[in-house]
Chain A
Amino acid sequence: MSLLPLEFETDAPADAIQAPIIVLEKVGKRFLTKAGEYEAFADFDLTIREGEFVCLLGPSGCGKTSLLRILAGLDSHNSGVLRIREPKGDKPFMSVVFQENSIFPWLSVRDNVAYGLRSRQAASAMVDQRVDQLLETVGLTGFQRLYPHQLSGGMKQRVSIARAFANDPQLLLMDEPFSALDEQNRSLLQEELLRIWSLSGKTVLFITHSIDEALFLGDRVVVMGGRPGHVMADISVPFPRPRQQYALKASPAYGALVAEVAELIRLAMQVSRA
């Protein structure tokens, strides 16, 4: 089964109600710290449907990363109900792209991208084919024998993205993957990400604290804020795809939406500070 179809699928499944693949109902997370109990987030409701690109937007410290870790299986929630749709066969439920550099320094680009697949003991011919495809999609074919210490920050994140996609998961979790990059690289990678996403048909939950990034990338923007963190708004992004950075920013509708979301974030931060 080819991960990336050769034809570009142009129409978004706008009207069809896709099946949910992850449902959170009143989910909460608390930590025990030296200062006592700390509630990261509470009463969190969220449904993500197949094929959606959902951006989780919120200020620092609102619990976004804790939430992602729970969805990634690295932590557990303490209250509420979390339901996921088990993937068929050998496919993993999710893959993560982390904020910091997370690719293994001791493996080449190629071996890094293949890591998840090789761990599942996938057939080596299939692994090679998929790795080749992904390297080409992220534009790293010529660099596949290099090691991370020879790459720039942007290239390392591309490897991280390729590795996550290579694993063919049901859900892609991305934790501010571009926040450590300079603005030019950031714009470039956002566009590349959208391109890979549209070719692959995967579901993405993308965490960010940048309003521009959330509105450019997402079908939906879930605004999270307050202390403890909770859903403040769930906004449907009306702009049609494929989206262009500069055209989008020039449209008045975009400006209005940014203002609305910015106000929400400001409110969220005020509550946090209280």
Chain B
Amino acid sequence: MDKETLTEIPALADIGQAELRRRRLERMLTVASPFLVLFAWELVVRAGMLDSRIFPAPSMIGETFERLLLSGELMAHLSISLLRIGAGFLIGAIPGVLLGTAMGLSPLLRAIVAPIVASLYPIPKIAIFPMVMALCGIGELSKYMLVGIAVFFFMVINTYTGVASLDRIFWDVGRSFRVSRMRRLLTIALPGALPMIAAGVRLSLGVSLLVLVSAEFVGAKSGIGYLVWNSWQIFDVEAMYVGIVVIGALGWIFFAGIDELERRFLPWATANRH
């Protein structure tokens, strides 16, 4: 090799156009892919390759959806389920945040309560549903209570984690300004813990949907879970799928809703995400 000659490294004309094209394609595929799947599903059922008694075509599910919507049945079930989730959420979240805050501020209280919470929390809520029904009857209260219990655990744990793990320095600021305990709680502890509390709300809504649907399978005569279970029992498979889709959509709406609320009210916490 001739030591005197230098090899040229060529310049590249691409300053990022290829990357931009790739990203655009990715975005299009993300949006299109669910539709492509539905389309493929439709074709496969029409061609007779899937048994439509178990996997009805999307068009058939769509027709049933329209039927249930127009008859008011869907909205009735949906509103009952939403009411149960809403009431259960309040029943669980309010005591949860209160206890969690107290635990976050008092290491002594935390030492006593945290182990109890930790051991009760992994118990599947549906397993205690019979016990809840024995205590609260088989009416609406038992559903509210079951959701409430599930929500309570998430809210306690997230709240006390949020309060306890708040950077020491913010407490130092409060104390150096000789701020009273109550004011420190309201102006430092709560705002500081809010991101963790919001995460708790997100988890709670997800879990309450799960818990409620399974409770409605076995212990209700109304609600989306009942729609799914009952439809299966009477072989109205399309109606079952409508219920499943609605549950999925609800979950998505809850999550997207909390995301949006966080972006609006907690911009300082979400600023460094994704």
Interface residues of A (CB under 8 A from B): 72-74, 92, 94-96, 98, 100-102, 104-107, 115-116, 119, 147-150, 167
Surface stretch bound by A, among B26-34, B58-66, B169-177:
B169-177
Quick one: which of A73, A96, A106, A148 contacts B191, CB cutoff 8 A? A106
Is residue B179 contacting chain A, with contact meaning CB distance below 8 A? yes
Closest-by-CB residue of A relative to B179 is: A119
Closest-by-CB residue of A relative to B267 is: A147
Question: Can you report 12 A-B residue pairs in the complex whose CB atoms are below 8 A from each other?
Answer: A72-B176, A73-B175, A74-B175, A92-B177, A92-B178, A98-B172, A105-B268, A106-B268, A107-B191, A115-B173, A119-B187, A150-B271
How many residues of B sit at the interface, in one of the four size bands?
Answer: 20 to 34
Closest-by-CB residue of A relative to B174 is: A119
Closest-by-CB residue of B relative to A71 is: B176
**Complex interface: chain A residues within 8 A of B170 (CB):** 102, 104
Asked if A98 and B173 make an inter-chain contact with CB atoms under 8 angstroms apart, the answer reads: yes
Is residue B194 contacting chain A, with contact meaning CB distance below 8 A? yes
Q: How far is the CA of A100 from the CA of B271 in the complex (A)?
A: 20
Cβ proximity bits B189-227 to A, threshold 8 Å, 1 near / 0 not: 001101000000000000000000000000000000000
The minimal Cβ–Cβ distance linking B170 to chain A, given in whole angstroms, is 6
Tell whether A102 pairs with B172 under 8 Å between CB atoms, given A95-B177, A147-B268: yes
Closest-by-CB residue of B relative to A69 is: B172
Q: Tell me the number of A-to-B contacts counted with CB atoms below 8 Å.
A: 57
Q: How far is the CA of A116 from the CA of B267 in the complex (A)?
A: 23
Q: How far is the CA of A73 from the CA of B170 in the complex (A)?
A: 15
**Complex interface: chain A residues within 8 A of B271 (CB):** 149-150
Is residue B71 contacting chain A, with contact meaning CB distance below 8 A? no
Asked if B268 and A148 make an inter-chain contact with CB atoms under 8 angstroms apart, the answer reads: yes
The minimal Cβ–Cβ distance linking A167 to chain B, given in whole angstroms, is 7
The minimal Cβ–Cβ distance linking B261 to chain A, given in whole angstroms, is 15
**Complex interface: chain A residues within 8 A of B272 (CB):** 149
Asked if B268 and A96 make an inter-chain contact with CB atoms under 8 angstroms apart, the answer reads: no
**Complex interface: chain B residues within 8 A of A105 (CB):** 268-269
Tell whether A119 pairs with B192 under 8 Å between CB atoms, given A74-B172, A105-B268, A149-B271: no
Q: How far is the CA of A102 from the CA of B170 in the complex (A)?
A: 6
List 5 additional contacts besides A105-B269, A106-B194, A147-B268; criterion CB under 8 Å.
A92-B178, A102-B169, A115-B187, A119-B180, A149-B271
Asked if B176 and A74 make an inter-chain contact with CB atoms under 8 angstroms apart, the answer reads: yes
The minimal Cβ–Cβ distance linking A75 to chain B, given in whole angstroms, is 10
Asked if B267 and A95 make an inter-chain contact with CB atoms under 8 angstroms apart, the answer reads: no
**Complex interface: chain B residues within 8 A of A74 (CB):** 172, 175-176
**Complex interface: chain A residues within 8 A of B136 (CB):** none
Closest-by-CB residue of B relative to A160 is: B173
Asked if A115 and B177 make an inter-chain contact with CB atoms under 8 angstroms apart, the answer reads: yes
Closest-by-CB residue of A relative to B271 is: A149
- Which one of B178, B188, B191, B192 has the greatest number of beta carbons of chain A within 10 Å? B178
Is residue B183 contacting chain A, with contact meaning CB distance below 8 A? yes
Closest-by-CB residue of B relative to A100 is: B169
**Complex interface: chain A residues within 8 A of B169 (CB):** 98, 100-102
Asked if B177 and A167 make an inter-chain contact with CB atoms under 8 angstroms apart, the answer reads: yes
Q: How far is the CA of A68 from the CA of B103 in the complex (A)?
A: 30
Asked if B177 and A104 make an inter-chain contact with CB atoms under 8 angstroms apart, the answer reads: no
Asked if B179 and A106 make an inter-chain contact with CB atoms under 8 angstroms apart, the answer reads: no
Report the 4 A-B pairs with minimum CB-CB distance, sorted nearest first: A106-B191, A149-B271, A96-B176, A105-B268
**Complex interface: chain A residues within 8 A of B194 (CB):** 106
